[in-house]
Amino acid sequence: MSVTAAIAANEQAIGEAAGNARVTFRTQGALEGPTLVKLVSREHTIEVDEPGVLAGGDAHANPVEYALASLASCQAITYRFWAAKLGIQLDGLEIAAEGDLDLHGFFGLDSTVRPGFTGIRLEVTPLGPESPERYQQLADAVDAHCPVLDLFTNATPVERRLAVPAA
């Protein structure tokens, strides 16, 4: 299905019943090594590991690298969708994301340092014939509608349940 067809089909389904707009995504898995985690989302396996300096086997990207990859890929996809919605020609897109993390927070060495990113930078290069003003209009629409950017920039309630096996 094309992006334009997907937009039209989803907007029609949501217009017919607002409840069609609410979806739930899931992932589940287990720790399978010192830092190796295997997860499944839909039919897709996701493997996560840490570099050797953090006791991992460096077999896969680590969680914060996946967070950056999630942000970069969601931005790219949102650029594609919003270019179609706004009638902006987008022949391609180059994107890079980098984030700063202070391990004082992760290791609990300084309670004033948060364990997550202290800053993230995105560099986006839209490719195509449009004017810089049109690509700025597109960038503004993407920033207003990118789900993963929203996760990074707004507090999201997280409910954790601890299921402790019976002794």
pLDDT per residue as tens digits for the range 56-112: 999 999 999 999 999 999 999 999 999 999 999 999 999 999 999 999 999 999 999
pTM of the model: 0.93
Percent of the chain clearing pLDDT 90 (strictly above): 98
Q: In the CATH hierarchy, which fold is given to the domain comprising 3-153?
A: GMP Synthetase; Chain A, domain 3 (3.30.300)
pLDDT at 165 over 90: no
pLDDT per residue as tens digits for the range 118-139: 999 999 999 999 999 999 999 9
pLDDT at 55 over 90: yes
pLDDT at 166 over 90: no
Write the DSSP string, the chain.
Answer: --HHHHHHHHHHHHHH-GGGG------EEEE-SSS-EEEEETTEEEEE---GGGT----S--HHHHHHHHHHHHHHHHHHHHHHHHT----EEEEEEEEEE-HHHHTTS-TTS-SSEEEEEEEEEEESS--HHHHHHHHHHHHHH-HHHHHHHS---------PPP-
Chain mean pLDDT for the chain: 96
User: How high is the pLDDT of residue 69?
Assistant: 98
